[in-house]
Amino acid sequence: MIDSALNSAPLIWLLLDDRAGNRSQCLGVADALALPCEAKELEYSWIGKLPNNLLGASFLGVSSASKRNLSPPWPDLVIAAGRRTAPVARRIKRLSKGKTRLVQIMWPGQQGTREFDLIAVPEHDKIDNNHNIINILGSPHNVNYKNFSSLRAEWMPGFLNFPAPRIALIVGGSTKSRTFTESMADELAHLASAMANSEGGSLLVSTSRRTGKAADRLIAAISAPAKIFRWEDGGPNPYPAFLACADAVVVTGDSMSMCSEACSGDGPVYIYAPDALITAKHKRLHDTLYQHGYARPLDGNYADWQHPPLNSANDVAIAINKILHQQSTNA
């Protein structure tokens, strides 16, 4: 993805915070861009919870250690994701006297939008394209379809005792506004098991930190052959390998990033999305994925179908290359 017209590699910072989805989006774009990037870890203080219209363009919301790590030489480009990174990115641009270009993934709020050179927002957010805004399908991520062959070579020998079709069951959990209940865990286990058993297949199960105590209920309710990774158990996380080795994927609909990552392959994807678990924004994403043929609602029935691998990180990287090329031409 490197633009051969660039005279030299630009200095690029990634603003990485404590939210896994935000990190995955930044790292996915960096991977697609294929240019050297420097990670800047952000820790937030309690002030970081304040609205962006109060924080303005400032480092007020981050810890003292994070502030010390944000110092000259200022980068040519900043890539960030999520609302809380936006004031930090805007402050860097001002300190660089406008030299630094800003790429923001997800809507940063109305405050200071003109300071961003590119804002990549999901299509389901219903924000119109503008001179510095592009719409993307789903969330960018760092689950790279190009790596699936090597992941299969490494991990598939350990899965051969589990019959095909192998269905990855990717489980998120509770969010700030919704609870993943034990009854949901029962229902999900029943539907996924029914799907695997109907085809003589098996499940590759991955729970997450947010699954909480419902993980025990889910695992106990599974009635199909299953390879299980529990978040609490630690050790190497087989999540990317499950996606690479699976013939189909079942994913809970509580995470934009997980739903997008589930579509990173080319096999069937089924989303478990009871009304009590998802928000209206999640539903808009699911409906968009259904409409474009990337996923279907989970109902316990298995069908073998295909779709193109999905990763909007590539679209963002193409747009960034245009910015860098323009910056190089104007230098």
* Euclidean distance between CA atoms 189 and 192, whole angstroms: 5
Q: Which CATH number fits domain 12-141+312-330: 1.10.287, 1.10.3470, 3.40.50, 1.10.3720?
A: 3.40.50
Domains 12-141+312-330 and 145-297 share a fold: yes
* Euclidean distance between CA atoms 270 and 286, whole angstroms: 10
> Looking at residues 154-170, what average pLDDT do you find?
97
**What pLDDT is recorded for position 3?**
47
**What pLDDT is recorded for position 5?**
46
pLDDT 10s digits, 96-108: 999 999 999 999 9
What values do phi and psi take at 250, rounded to 5?
-110, 130
Reported CATH class of domain 145-297: alpha beta
**What pLDDT is recorded for position 285?**
95
pLDDT 10s digits, 117-127: 999 998 887 77
Contact 37, 13 (CB under 8 A): yes
**In this predicted structure, which of 79-93, 178-192, 227-241 has the lowest mean pLDDT?**
227-241
Domain ranges of the chain: 12-141+312-330, 145-297
- The pTM assigned to this predicted structure is 0.88
Percent of the chain with pLDDT over 90: 85
Closest CA to 143 of 250, 282, 24: 24
The model's confidence at residue 6, banded by pLDDT at 50, 70 and 90, is: low
Helical packing angle, 20-33 and 313-330, nearest 10°: 60
Contact 139, 21 (CB under 8 A): yes
Residue 281 has pLDDT above 80, yes or no: yes
**101-105 β-sheet, strand order:** 38-41, 12-16, 77-81, 101-105, 118-122, 133-136
Would you call 291 exposed, middle or buried from its count of C-beta atoms within 10 A (0-12, 13-18, 19+)?
Answer: exposed
